[in-house]
Structures are given as structure tokens and as C-alpha cells.
Amino acid sequence: MLLLTASLALAADLTKDVAKDTLDIGVLKNSEVKVVQKMLYRKDGTLELGAMLAVMPFDGYTIAPQLALSGTKHFSDTVGVELQLAGGYGLENAVYTELAGPTYGVAVEAYRYLASAEVDVQYTLAYAKMNLGGKKVVHHDVYLLGGLGATLEQSLLPPGDVTVSPTLPVGIGTRLYLSKTSLLRLELRDSMMLEHRSQSDTWGFKQNVGIGLGLSLLSGGSK
């Protein structure tokens, strides 16, 4: 009984000592939360200039390499507006070659990608960190995009008529920060079009889905 009483008294003294050493920090502000999360790379107020190589591999009759140049104004760490100008060339794939060949001889009314101009709003869903093999921490964010634009395409059939289609781009991407002023971007973009087809004088729905990898530089903003 004596031993139990002594133990309880010792525990009470230790609790008092811990209470004296405890620091009450109160309620954290939003700015303080960012410090705790170690958000090292900020986009607020920055201008992002980038170049991206992409490929559109999912069209039924063509495959198109693409080069895109972009400028993005980030109004905060979560919201930005981007202008993207891109060009490429849709190459006939194996399906189109087979259908148009001597075996089938089918004249497919298909169009190849040539160029596009798109303006989109980007919303950052999350800012996070990855631990690579316990040696390096990579900071990255994930964003969604949606906007408006126009796409220039050319018919694969003679005389190669061109058409300009209103376009609705949507997509998802991620930024991997190399430093406070440079980053890698990986993006999946679906450019949905309402396309006029001159040979049949009809309108049709088409999607140009591209997968791209690029390098961007950030300037301005708070350091």
C-alpha cells in the first residue's frame, strides 16, 4: 500500500512538470498551417511559361505528335488562367491505311490535327510531397483544367479541305517542382470538338486526347 501511494505521488509530480513545459500555441492561422506543411513552392502571383511535347494516340484513324507553348498567370496558389498555342501533324495510322488500301478501298472521311489555340482555367486540387527511396522529397501539385478554344484540322481525303472547330478542353495534370523557378508538367488533356465535315456536309463530335510532358519556368510572385 505504501509503495502504491509513493508511485501515485511521483506520477503527480511528473504531470505537473510536463504541464509547466507545455506550450499552448492556440489556433493556427491559414498562413501558419502552410508553414507547418512546409509548402516550399508557391504559385501565387507568378507567371508560368512552358513548352510541352505531347502525343494524341487515341484517334481512330490518326496519331498526332504535338508541340505546345503556354503562358499561365497564377492569381493564387489554387487558381490560374492559361493560354496554350499548339501545333502538330496527324499521321495516318494502321487502321486508316488498311481501310484505304486495295483490300477494302474505303474512303474514310477523317481529319488530321494541325493546330489549336485554347484558354483554360486551372484549379489546384492538392499540394503534396513524395518520398523517393527515403533520399529525396519531391513537392508536387495536382490540378484540373477546363476552358474554350478552336482547333484547325485537315481532311485526309483530297482536296484536303481544312476546318476550324469550336473546342472545349478539359483535363488533369501535375506539376513536379525542380526548384522555386522550374518544374516539370505531366498532363492529360481532352479537347472535345464540334467539327464540320465538308465532304458529307455534316457536323460531328470528335475528341483529341493528348498526353504531354513539359518544362515550365516561374517568374514573379512572392519569394
Q: Of 191, 192, 177, 185, whose CA–CA distance to 212 is shortest?
A: 185
Grid coordinates given for 50? 512552358
Domain ranges of the chain: 44-220
pLDDT tens for the chain, 223 residues long, are: 544 444 445 445 544 554 455 444 445 455 544 444 567 889 999 999 999 999 999 999 999 999 999 999 999 999 999 999 999 999 999 999 989 888 888 888 999 999 999 999 999 999 998 887 777 888 999 999 999 999 999 999 999 999 999 999 999 999 999 999 999 999 999 999 999 998 889 999 999 999 999 999 999 976 5
Host H or E run for residue 40: none
| Fold of the domain spanning 44-220 | Porin (2.40.160)
3-state class of 26 per DSSP?
Answer: coil
Residues 6+ apart with CB under 8 A from 166: 148, 149, 150, 193, 194
Owner of C-alpha cell 504531354:
212
- In the chain, the amino acid numbered 51 is A
